[in-house]
Structure 1
């Protein structure tokens, strides 16, 4: 099987700060680093490090070619990625406080200029039973999700950053919806109904330090507890969780087993400073013996 990820690719500029800046505050950073990021890229790296095959559908500007090389080094199939001369690579300026919380300013750039032909060419190589995943940091999600559903792929939607209009458009094609507690509350407010009544086969709501909640299409609710760790940086932890969940399902794991693996991956991720470049692989998770 394989995973096809229509997702963002960002250059992450990470600033280590004593606390998150308040409105109007000028704050000196203690450290600076630059690396690969973007919710889509993070998920592709996590999927690859979870031992699943993943092809990334995305776009970068000419100054972002190194991000494509980095994805390839991590085992991601980068052939569907476009390099655009007329658009800058997406980037994120990330402030990370000493308590692990973060604040992010995002510029979409080439992530919002992916051509429909590139998506179609990539998915033409997919097989029934493969998995398609997307987020809200690119263009073309609805068309791609509809195409994936028609081709017999499992459609997974990580509804972040939250956009009620985007969610409304994708819901008819979604098999698995993944969102955090705040996003779930926003979605319920926007649609006027609880997430378990959306008619989706599976919904996973992440709850931070409380773990996650799996709502199955049969109406059953399963709580998966979190693993207690000391957080260093929460950036990318949700993407790592989702990537491992998707990889586990694509490899044939039952949902509960895939959720347990994803929970371990997310817990280990928050003990590390960085994003895609520090996402753990399966051996690191096994060696950490979390949970």
Structure 2
């Protein structure tokens, strides 16, 4: 099976800082790094490193050729990434000594993906494949409508939270992943409980506490899952790593609970590393790591 990821590709510009700045405060950065990022690219890398076949549908500017090459190195099918006029999307990321982050995004080429390209991509998909998407691109509603018509399963990471995008996707999604803050934003924006949203399975992540699985088949009773105990140095990309591993596990036929637990292990290992897509652990590392 294949995961078709309609996803962002960003250049991540990461500053290590003593603490996240307060309004009006100027800080001297401790270090500067540049790497591959974007929620979409992170998820594609995570899924590929979790042994799934991944086709990425996205766009970069002329300045993003190196990002596409890097994705190819990680085993991602990049033939449906197009080059457009305009800058590649980028993120300014501040990471403090506790590993917490603050991020400013510029969408750039991520908002220039054409509907024709998306249609070309999904026309190659097979029934039972997964469409994976998040909110750093456009065309979510069009993508999920097309995917359902073609018999694909839809996995949706509702981040960064966007109420309009969520409304367009939820009724078509089989699986939705979001963190606790985004879950509250969804409830506030929709005024609905989980049973009314229309998604069969909702995973709510809660950082170091693990998270909750909500399933229609279990009457929406929350099932807690734990996260391995680690010392976090950088939480950037942890949620994307979780989602990529989760969907890869499901695509490979693993049960939901086993896929969630594998994803939690991958995310825990991820937060012990500085960086984003370039440091997402591979499946062998995740399986071999013994957590305290």
TM surpasses 0.5: yes
Relative to the length of structure 1, the TM-score reads: 0.98
Q: 1:187 touches 1:195 (CA, 8 Å); kept in 2?
A: no
8 Å contact kept, 1:235–1:270: yes
Structure 1 distance, partners of 2:199, 2:164, is 17
**Residues 175-200 of structure 1, C-alpha deviation per residue, up to 9 Å, x if partnerless?**
10111101111111111122243221
Aligned mates of 1:261, 1:102 — CA distance in 2: 24
TM normalised by structure 2 equals: 0.98
Cross-structure match for 2:139: 140
Matching residue of 1:90: 89
CA root-mean-square deviation:
0.9
Q: How does 1:76-115 map to 2 (within 5 A)?
A: 76-84=76-84, 86-115=85-114
Structure-1 separation of matches of 2:211 and 2:125: 30
Listed as ranges, the matches of 1:1-291 within 5 Å are 1-84=1-84, 86-218=85-217, 219=219, 220-290=221-291
CA contact (8 A) 1:211 1:225 kept: yes
Alignment partner of 2:93: what SS?
Answer: strand
- The Cα offsets for residues 158-184 of structure 1, whole Å up to 9 and x where unpaired, read as 000101111111112111011110111
Task: Summarize deviations over 1:269-289 as a string: whole Å, max 9, x none.
Answer: 000000000000011112212
What is the rounded CA distance, in whole Å, between the counterparts of 1:262 and 1:196 in structure 2?
Answer: 25
Q: In 1, distance between residues paired with 2:37 and 2:186? A: 26
Query: How many equivalent residue pairs?
Result: 290
Dislocated runs of 4+, deviation >6 Å:
none
Structure 2: any 5+ residue segments left out of the alignment? none
Cα deviation, 1:82-117, whole Å, max 9, x if unaligned, reads: 011x21100001010000000111100000010011
Distance 1:200 1:25 in 2: 42
Which residues of structure 1 form unaligned runs of 5+? none
Distance in structure 2 (CA, Å) of the matches to 1:45 and 1:156: 16
Contact 1:184 1:195 (8 Å CA) reproduced: no
Contact 1:10 / 1:36 at 8 angstroms: preserved in 2?
yes
1:221 is displaced (CA, Å) by: 2.4
Give the Cα separation in 1 of the matches to 2:166 and 2:70.
Answer: 30
